[in-house]
Structure 1
Amino acid sequence: MLLFVTMFLIGILIGFTGAGGAGTIIAVLTAVFGISVHTALGTSLASMIFTSLSGTLSHFKAHNVVLKIGAITGIFGAIGSFIGAQIAGFIDEDILKYCTATMMVFSAFLLWRRLFMVKRQSATKSASKQNDESTNLIIKGAFVGVITGFLSGFLGIGAAPFIQIGLLTIFGLTAKKAVGTTMLVILPIAFVGGFGYYILGHLDIGLFIKVVCGTIIGSYLGAKFTAYVNEAFLKVVMIILPIASAVLLIFAKQ
């Protein structure tokens, strides 16, 4: 019951911020519930399939999902995710833990810089340009997808902050559009990456079911709050979440 309630609360944060939440789940599973790092990586990444699906549906109804950009980026992300998962299976758990925590902090820094320090480009102009240049769209989608997908598979995280940065910077989406579209991108990344961990024996099905039951409900409810909050507040939460998760993961018991 405690695990379900904890995952439900995490799911609300996931849906609200558009983050895949795998990094947060990994931190909680290892620090609070004593799950091994490799198992936490595989279970958390796979759970993002259902969490992201729930969040995507909610954001789609709120018109926060750019389908074409999300689909192309997600397909290439799946390729990178599978490769990353295979490599992670041969890496020591302590190394993976610190690598994951470091990337979460780094992602928070990049988000802070992009959201608060760099002047945003015109989203309307960028979106229009993408519609006229399909080839350019595929190239950009491949660039963002493969890199973020590899990070997801290798570190077991959804790499949502990195995906959001790509959508904000490369495609010029607004913060709310980036949040919603990120949920769509994570779907194929989580599915293929989770399968990669499964064939390596690092996916606990029982734990997976418990995590999904909590996060999928929370994610759907959390996504509904996104449209009603001030965008500045949303940006702050997007930055704080990965930092808090990284700190929790670093101090997790061995």
Structure 2
Amino acid sequence: MTFDIWWLAYPVLGAVVGFFAGLLGVGGGGIMVPMLTTLFLAQGFPLAQVVHMALGTSMAAIVMTSVSSLRAHHRHGAVRWDVVRRITPGILLGTFGGTFIASRVDTAGLAVFFVVFMGYVSIQMLLNIKPKPTRELPGTAGMSAAGLLIGGVSALVAIGGGSLSVPFMTWCNVKVQNAIGTSAAIGLPIALAGTVGYLVNGWNAAGTPPLTLGYVYLPALVFVSLVSMATAPYGARLAHRLPVATLKKVFAGVLMLLCAKMLHSIFA
């Protein structure tokens, strides 16, 4: 195994991902996927595999982050475990199934879907859109359907699901604090099912570089995960001192720029 100079970029990416995750409570996929796609292309990885590898590696990196986030929210009593139990079967099936869809979509299609969804997330942040509570949580069938949708989209864009699950729960009259805490708990089965799915679907993929398991590139996974876990607490501390509403708007702008760079890297 030889050291690749590009590996030095992964701890920097991990520091940024962890900091913003702690500061704004957002998953790292929005930053990781476009940045990893650009880095993988710079390293000469096959164009046909780069977005799939970025999604798989991001999903694997989210596992450790989601464990830390879940524990923190559980300590504050913010997790609705009754909701977690009812929605998790659909989440697992939707996320795992979503990786099979992703593996059969070409790089350009995946990139466009990712950018469109991140555009939706960015607009939510810019306009501070929050659904009005209008109803109660649905029954078992409704929760399973919601889990399938949240899991499936999460697999296609490598997020922990908060961009969908928090609005869904607040729409169903779950308190915002509980919605955020419960979403953090839901993020773990999403990350686990997504990681397994990308490992399985990429296992026999042709042309993946050395040190890759399925669609997970191990050097990126290790460096991003270790550093992001170290920087997340600093972001969380600053969240109580800085104007988070303003920072969310800045972050939304950064997301859009990263997505534009990703599309340029792929289509150019």
State the TM-score, normalizing by the size of structure 2: 0.75
Q: Deviation at 1:246?
A: 2.7
Show structure 1 runs of 5+ residues with no match.
Answer: 131-135
Q: Deviation at 1:168?
A: 2.1
Residue pairs, 1:1-254, within 5 angstroms: 1-32=8-39, 34=41, 36-110=50-124, 115-116=128-129, 120-121=132-133, 136=138, 138-174=140-176, 176-201=177-202, 202-226=215-239, 232-233=245-246, 236=249, 242-253=255-266
Structure-2 change in CA distance of 1:46 and 1:161 (3 Å): same
Show structure 2 runs of 5+ residues with no match.
Answer: 1-7, 203-214
- The answer to whether the 8 Å contact 1:55/1:223 transfers is no
Q: Deviation at 1:205?
A: 2.6
Q: Deviation at 1:238?
A: 7.4
Q: Deviation at 1:217?
A: 2.5
Structure-2 change in CA distance of 1:38 and 1:208 (3 Å): same
- The answer to whether the 8 Å contact 2:133/2:173 transfers is no
Q: Deviation at 1:3?
A: 1.5
Q: Give the structure 1 partner of residue 205 of structure 2.
A: none
Task: State the number of aligned residues.
Answer: 241
Structure-2 change in CA distance of 1:54 and 1:190 (3 Å): same
Structure with greater helix percent? 1
- Please list the CA deviations of residues 12-53 of structure 1 after superposition, one character each: whole Å capped at 9, or x if unmatched: 212333322213111111124536111111110121111111
Structure-2 change in CA distance of 1:241 and 1:62 (3 Å): farther
Q: Deviation at 1:106?
A: 1.9
State the TM-score, normalizing by the size of structure 1: 0.79
Task: Give the letter aligned to residue 51 of structure 1.
Answer: T
- The answer to whether the 8 Å contact 1:100/1:157 transfers is no
Name which one, 1 or 2, has greater alpha-carbon Rg. 2
Q: Deviation at 1:164?
A: 2.1
Q: Give the structure 2 partner of residue 133 of structure 1.
A: none
Give me the whole-angstrom Cα distance separating, in 2, the residues matched to 1:242 and 1:109.
Answer: 10
Give me the whole-angstrom Cα distance separating, in 2, the residues matched to 1:24 and 1:62.
Answer: 27
Task: Give the letter aligned to residue 20 of structure 1.
Answer: G
Give me the whole-angstrom Cα distance separating, in 1, the residues matched to 2:77 and 2:237.
Answer: 12
- The answer to whether the 8 Å contact 1:86/1:196 transfers is yes
Q: Deviation at 1:139?
A: 4.1
- Please list the CA deviations of residues 122-169 of structure 1 after superposition, one character each: whole Å capped at 9, or x if unmatched: 9xxx7xx66xxxxx4544432332101001123333343122221222
Please say which of residues 44-53 and 214-223 is displaced more in the overlay. Answer: 214-223
Give me the whole-angstrom Cα distance separating, in 1, the residues matched to 2:82 and 2:250.
Answer: 27
DSSP 3-state at the match of 1:252: helix
- The answer to whether the 8 Å contact 1:55/1:219 transfers is no
Give me the whole-angstrom Cα distance separating, in 1, the residues matched to 2:172 and 2:251.
Answer: 19
CA RMSD of aligned residues (A): 3.0
Identity across matched positions, percent? 22
